[in-house]
Structure 1
Amino acid sequence: MFKVGSAAFLRHGGFPPQQDDHDKKFADRLAQVQFWDAASVGRAYRELTKLPFLEATWDRFVHRGHKADNLKAVVTLAFHKHAMEEGKNPVNVPGDYPLALLTLAGNLSPMGEAALRQSLPPEHDNNATPNAFTQYLALPHRHQLAALIHLAQGGAHAPSSPACANANNAAAKAYAAAAKEFANHLFCADLAEDTRRRGADAELACGLAHWHGGRAAPAVMAYLSALDTFTALALPEPAARAGEALNTIAAAVAMQGDTQALLEALAKLGATAKEFETLVCLYDAAGRRSLAKTAYFYARRAYELREEDEAAKRAFVHADALDLAGAASERIARAAEKTAGRRASTGGPPVPLEAGYSEAPDARVERSTQQAAKQGAGRPLPPPAAGVG
């Protein structure tokens, strides 16, 4: 006799071993489907959504919503799983695939969530006993389902709490795992791209939660990850939002005099040389050349730790180039000030800067950190709390 919540119960997916005969019948009927034939798909779909044993199985895992809707969600995902395994286009499968995921995610019982966790790595491997989730849902679908549950958990916590940030980070990782699986299957390219984007959105939410809580370093790591994904997907608008958030954090941390501590914390969190170089580009483009040079130092150090000597030398040269450009910009700015002063003393009209000099980005570098922080006004980030960790 299987008891609710027992290890044996979960190990068998919430149903006794004799259920295997019914599962085989389900699989055999699914194997007869001709995915190119909408009529064949439709007939099998209607038959399989009316099986009493399927309702008895999933009743243990789904404790909210309408039974008919929950069963359709399971069968829809089972059809997509079979199509994926056979390399077939699931375009003729009835039911709404995203809605099927949302239905199950919103209606799973605690036992269902436990069984889902057991169906995912690292708890589940190729030698593990199958359960209802491995039987009816493909691995990327299970990862997507887990991501939706993590997002819901994040929404239940205070927006600035570590729990909220961690839940969104877990969702991002689940989406990334799903995208990796989708990339290995035919007819799943759009799903892979959409899932990567959703993972990056979750990283944005993770970064915002950390920043709300005054945890600048993990916020930067989350925003860097999101920026990298959005850039790879050629999505300029969300990439710009991630970049603006990183610049706002940089200005606020600089105003507190904590830039060095932030970069050191990023290094301890495992920031890569590429990520430090991303910060260099952002800081330089925003006219914060001294911050860019400091970030280059950490990029060079990260390369040296990986024994990538040529890349480390390149970072060193680029940091020196920033120094030279900064010195040139200072000379231009001082010359412009002297010219304006001479004009004023002789009563002549002031010469606009652009008339005699082209303002290099570094002409803005020496603005006060208070003014730099004001440049982040209106961006969706609050003032930082104390600390960068």
Structure 2
Amino acid sequence: MGKAVVIGGGVGGLTAGVALRRRGWEVTVLERASQIEPVGSGLAIAANALKALDVLELGDRIRGLATAEGRLGLRRADGRWMVHTSEAEADSKYGDSMVITLRATLMEVLIDALGPGRLLLNSAVSEVDAGKGLVRTEAGELEADLIVAADGIHSATRRALFPEHPGPVYSGVTAWRGLVPRDGLSVPRSESWGRGTVFGIHLLAGDVVYLYATDVVPAGVTHADEREELLRRFGGWHEPIPALLRAADPADIIRNDIYYNAEPLPAFHRGRVALVGDAAHAMTPNLGQGACQAIEDGVVLAHVAGRDLAEYSAARMERTAKIVRRSMTMCRMSKLRNPLAVRLRDFGLSAAARLSPDLMLRSMDEMLRWRPPVEPEGPAGR
């Protein structure tokens, strides 16, 4: 195989780097930051992404981070369950459930698998030549047979390759995230919906609770104390939400506005460059598939690398576009503020779940049943 340069040391870039290395590529991952910061947030690794990580022989390391089984699903602000399932039901249907873990933990696993000397920090990219396969940095010029652009939602590479594309747009909601010690609290894995508001809680390994919240606000609005703002908005919701917020360290609350690609790109490649993760298909977090799709991207790209990159675009564009749309549909449902519309939404979800107890899993079926590509039978694939 040849040389691959990966721009961006996030989940998608590292996954692509590991996958390419396993297929014999010489890989260099460029990360503009001076260090990989331990971001204080969690992420979901669902059955589809676990199967992709199995290709890299990393799936079981992530499965080992799963917390105890129990009910998981969607609740109202007063705590009443609307839709729910269980870890056991998900595992029975898909051979895996969902692991919620620290983003930093997944990054550590991927960096370890990439191997020493292949991740170059403090390496900002100034220019990419898709035709010649050149990546220019302050330290010099790198030649590559394949360039992987994993430089995030505001990807400079995407803008250079597809200048006519409008780029990501504001979803209308902002998000808070944080980590809080469990401290003996009962923490069912759930997401609760109110009037335009969402609050999610997930127990992680080590008795740490990952919490996240969203609300409909203008882009760019911030507050001096984001924890106090969360208490103002969610302090009257069901337990353990108020208790977790009271226990949270204000310095550990992260806030960011949510953007997504409302208009799909015309392709996920141009010349020798392939886009992965948020650079290709930024989505809202409502389905918990952002990191999962980035992981899928990396594994699929490595599978077709060395052939026509149009195969990569063909394999990924339709699937990711559907997930972006579905995730935004869920976002719009959660953004409803009109009291009548909220009551109708909640009643409809509860009624549908009573009529179809496996509603939650069925709604995710197409995403979770995905399997990574395999080599064809024959001498080359054995």
Q: Normalized against structure 1, the TM-score is what?
A: 0.19
Q: Normalized against structure 2, the TM-score is what?
A: 0.20
Q: Which has the higher contact order (CA 8 A, sep 6+)?
A: 2
**Which of the pair has more CA radius of gyration?**
1
Flag the structure with higher strand content: 2
